C-alpha cells in the first residue's frame, strides 16, 4: 500500500484529530452521526446511478456500522465505480481524507479500475479523495487510517495469481491506527467451503474471512445483518438473475486493538 502519492495521504490523515479537538474545545456541537450520514446520502454530487443502488446497498445502516465521522481517514480497497468512496468523501468532510486504493494487480482488468477511480476522484466535491495503486503486499505506512473498507471484493483477492492475502491483511493492520476498524463485506459461500468458490461463484466462506483477519491481529467486534438473506441457497453464482442483488452477504467489523 505504499506509493508516490502517500505523502498526500499522510498530510490529509494528520488533520482529523487536531480538527476534532479544536471543535470540542471551542464549545461548538458537532452534528450527530445520523445527520452526517443523512447529509452524505443526500449529497447532490452523487450520480443518479448511485442513488438507484441505495435500496439494495443500505448505505445508512452500513455507514453507521463503521462509526464514520467527520475528520476520519478512510481507505476504500478496490473501490469499483466509487459508490462507497463518494459516500465516505461526503461523510468525512473537508478535514477528513479518503484513499481509493486500486491494487496494482487489477489495474488492467476489463473495466480499467484505475482509470475509473481517477475519474470519480476528479468529480466535483471530491477534493479529499486520493487515488493510490501499488501491489497488495507492499509495506503500508503505519497508523494512517481510521477505517479500511472492502465491499464484495475480498473473495477476489484469492483469485489474483500469486497474491498473498495474509500479507495484505497484515498491511491493513499496519495501516490502521490503534482502535481503527477493518470492514469486510462479501457474498457468503456454503459453510465449510473455505475458498473453493471464490472464482466460480464469487463467494467465500465467512469463517475463512474471520480466520484470516484474526491471523493478522484483528479482533472481530461485530457482525452486521443488514445484508443477510437466509433464502439464498449459497450454491449459485452471484451474477445469476435469480439471486443477483439479493445474495446473502456478511458484514464484519474487525478492530485493531489499542
pLDDT by residue for the chain (258 residues), tens digit each?
666 344 344 444 444 433 333 333 333 446 899 999 999 999 999 999 999 999 999 999 999 999 999 999 999 999 999 999 999 999 999 999 999 999 999 998 888 999 999 999 999 999 999 999 999 999 999 999 999 999 999 999 999 999 999 999 999 999 999 999 999 999 999 999 999 999 999 999 999 999 999 999 999 999 999 999 999 999 999 999 999 999 999 999 999 999
Locate 3 and state its grid cell: 506509493
Q: What is the pTM of this model?
A: 0.90
* Model pLDDT, residue 19: 36
Q: What is the pLDDT of residue 30?
A: 62
Please report the pLDDT score of residue 23 as a whole number: 37
The C-alpha angle 50, 70, 87, rounded to 5 degrees, equals 5
180-213 b/e with 16+ CB inside 10 Å = b? bbbbbbbbbbeeebebbbbeebbbbbbebbbebb
pLDDT of residue 49: 97
Which cell goes with 121?
476522484
**Per-residue DSSP letters for 52-93?**
HHHHHH-HHHHHHHHT--TT-EEEEES-TTSHHHHHHHHHH-
pLDDT recorded at residue 22:
33
What 3-state DSSP class applies to 220?
Answer: strand
Say what the pLDDT of residue 14 is: 44
How much is the pLDDT for 2?
62
Amino acid at each position: 500500500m505504499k506509493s508516490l502519492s502517500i505523502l498526500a495521504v499522510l498530510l490529509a490523515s494528520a488533520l482529523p484529530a487536531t480538527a476534532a479537538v479544536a471543535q470540542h474545545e471551542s464549545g461548538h456541537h458537532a452534528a450527530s452521526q445520523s445527520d452526517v450520514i443523512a447529509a452524505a446520502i443526500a449529497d447532490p454530487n452523487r450520480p443518479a446511478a448511485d442513488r438507484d443502488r441505495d435500496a439494495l446497498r443500505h448505505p445508512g445502516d452500513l455507514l453507521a456500522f463503521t462509526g464514520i465521522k467527520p475528520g476520519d481517514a478512510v481507505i476504500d480497497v478496490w473501490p469499483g465505480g466509487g459508490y462507497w468512496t463518494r459516500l465516505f468523501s461526503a461523510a468525512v468532510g473537508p478535514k477528513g481524507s479518503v484513499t481509493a486504493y486500486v491494487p496494482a494487480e487489477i489495474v488492467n482488468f476489463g473495466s480499467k479500475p484505475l482509470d475509473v477511480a481517477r475519474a470519480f476522484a476528479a468529480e466535483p466535491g471530491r477534493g479529499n479523495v486520493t487515488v493510490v495503486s501499488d501491489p497488495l503486499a507492499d509495506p503500508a505506512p503505519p497508523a494512517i487510517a481510521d477505517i479500511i473498507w472492502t465491499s464484495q471484493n475480498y473473495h477476489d483477492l484469492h483469485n489474483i495469481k500469486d497474491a498473498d492475502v495474509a500479507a495484505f491483511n497484515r498491511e491493513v493492520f499496519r495501516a490502521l491506527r490503534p482502535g481503527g476498524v477493518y470492514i469486510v463485506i462479501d457474498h457468503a459461500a456454503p459453510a465449510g467451503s473455505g475458498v473453493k468458490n471464490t472464482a466460480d461463484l464469487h463467494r467465500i466462506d465467512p469463517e475463512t474471512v474471520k480466520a484470516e483477519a484474526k491471523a493478522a491481529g484483528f479482533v472481530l467486534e461485530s457482525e452486521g445483518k443488514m445484508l443477510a438473506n437466509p433464502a439464498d441457497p449459497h450454491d449459485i453464482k452471484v451474477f445469476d438473475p435469480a439471486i443477483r442483488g439479493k445474495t446473502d452477504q456478511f458484514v464484519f467489523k474487525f478492530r485493531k486493538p489499542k
